Structure 1
Amino acid sequence: MVDAALIRQCSDPALTPALVENFIARAGSQDPLTVTVRSGNRVVLVPKPATSDEAMDLIHQNVGRNIVRVGITQYPAGLGILDTGELKRDLVDPCENIRMGTALFAKIYRIVMKWYGNPTKSEVLPEVLDDAIIAWQTGYFEGTAVFRAPDPGDVKVPEPDREKPASDAIEQSADSAGVEVSDPVKDEPRGDDPNKAGIRVDLSGIVAE
């Protein structure tokens, strides 16, 4: 369990601590060094980093070729950068990862809230949270690439009355969900995959999951 004091200190003020805890339990990781790599709908087997240096090396090796999520919030690495040299160690710092991840998730929550018509009825709010978490995991909501979409601005982010436990997480592990796991040594690069271009490309495109 991520320390509650760390959540209060580092998370975006637009989200309540309880909502952030729910978000991390369902879409994030308890380990700030967690690096998840996907190629399409396949999870790529990578070594588990033991240090921040190993985590950053792993991120550098995969950003631009695969979809990479990092840290406690599973923040989309490569978002808004043009070169891997711009990647910062903030990605694997617990407080900074929570700060960046919750700020981005708050924007996604506002996008979903606006689409729902800014509902206030308590029975609707869990659905809004569900859709926001799915949008975080996939990168899309109703055809909109949410990571690059503009912030809708002043949309109140209320607290759902009921929260689903972490056991109801949308995203299961590769083994339990039956996701095909790929081996980066054996898999040949596909020429039609825009995520496998050279470094000097707009890496923000990799979050369009």
Structure 2
Amino acid sequence: MIDAALIHQCADPQIEIAIVERFIAEAGSDNPLSVTITSGDRIILPQVPQNADDAVRLIRRFAGQATVRVGLTQYPAGYGVSDAAQISVDLVDACQNIRMGSALFGKVYRIVAHARGEAGSSVFREALNAWRSGMFQDDYVFGLADPGPLSGEENVSMYPPEAIVDAEPDSTTLAPEQNHDPHAAGIRVDLSPLKDQGEP
């Protein structure tokens, strides 16, 4: 369990603390030195880092060759880095990782909220899916521009954890391999005019 005081101290100020706590609880790790490496559907299980230097060496080894997520927020190690040599121990410093991860998740949330024209629990869930996959509407979500706060809002507007409920993912968040049956679509034709014509 991550110390709540650490989150309060280090979280990006544009995001509600309760949301950062929920974000880390659902998408993060309890270990600041956590390095998760995936390549396609494969999970690579290297030796667990024993210190920050070990973690940085491991991140540099796989960055650019696989998807590498790091630290308490499972921050995407390759984001904003053109050379693996630029990767520093900041990624595995608990406070820095929370600061960077919460700021980047805030941007992802705003991207989703602007696309949906709303804020709230369903947007949080979709933003969490985008954070995990790195994709939103077929784009690399971390590389998209931050659209800024929603109209009339000073901060990222999210509901507290108790208002966020698990929901079935929207069709835009389904994995690409999940094809939809076109014959299963609901009928959207208004037949009321036909009914009126048939009446005497």
Q: Distance in 1 between matches of 2:149 and 2:66?
A: 34
Q: Distance in 2 between matches of 1:66 and 1:141?
A: 19
Q: Tell me which structure has the larger Cα radius of gyration.
A: 2
Deviates more, 1:92-101 or 1:73-82: 73-82
How far 1:164 moved relative to its partner?
A: 4.7
8 A contact 2:124–2:158 mirrored in 1: no
Deviations 1:98-139 (A, max 9, x none): 0111110000000011111134xxxxx211110000000001
User: What is residue 158 of structure 2 aligned with on the other side?
Assistant: 159
Aligned structure 1 segments of 4 or more residues deviating by more than 6 angstroms: none
Count of residues in correspondence between the two structures:
162
User: What is residue 189 of structure 1 aligned with on the other side?
Assistant: none
How far 1:45 moved relative to its partner?
A: 1.3
Q: Which runs of 5+ in 2 are unaligned?
A: 170-200
User: What is residue 187 of structure 2 aligned with on the other side?
Assistant: none
1:27-66 correspondence to structure 2 within 5 Å: 27-66=27-66
Q: Distance in 2 between matches of 1:52 and 1:2?
A: 18
Of residues 99, 113, 127 in structure 1, which corresponds to 2:122?
127
1:130-141 correspondence to structure 2 within 5 Å: 130-141=125-136
User: What is residue 7 of structure 1 aligned with on the other side?
Assistant: 7
1:85-100 correspondence to structure 2 within 5 Å: 85-100=85-100
User: What is residue 150 of structure 1 aligned with on the other side?
Assistant: 145
How far 1:159 moved relative to its partner?
A: 2.8
8 A contact 1:63–1:84 mirrored in 2: yes
Amino acid at match of 2:164: E
Deviations 1:160-192 (A, max 9, x none): 251359xx9x9xxxxxxxxxxxxxxxxxxxxxx
Q: Distance in 1 between matches of 2:74 and 2:148?
A: 24
Q: Distance in 2 between matches of 1:5 and 1:164?
A: 25
Q: Helix, strand or coil for the counterpart of 1:115?
A: helix
Structure 1 residues 164, 34: CA separation in 2 closer, same or farther (over 3 Å shift)?
farther
8 A contact 1:22–1:163 mirrored in 2: no
Question: Percent of counterpart pairs with the same letter?
Answer: 47
User: What is residue 103 of structure 2 aligned with on the other side?
Assistant: 103
How far 1:149 moved relative to its partner?
A: 0.1
Q: Which runs of 5+ in 1 are unaligned?
A: 120-124, 171-209
Q: Please, what TM-score do these two structures have when normalized by structure 2?
A: 0.76
Q: Distance in 1 between matches of 2:72 and 2:165?
A: 19
Amino acid at match of 2:135: Y
Q: Helix, strand or coil for the counterpart of 2:68?
A: strand
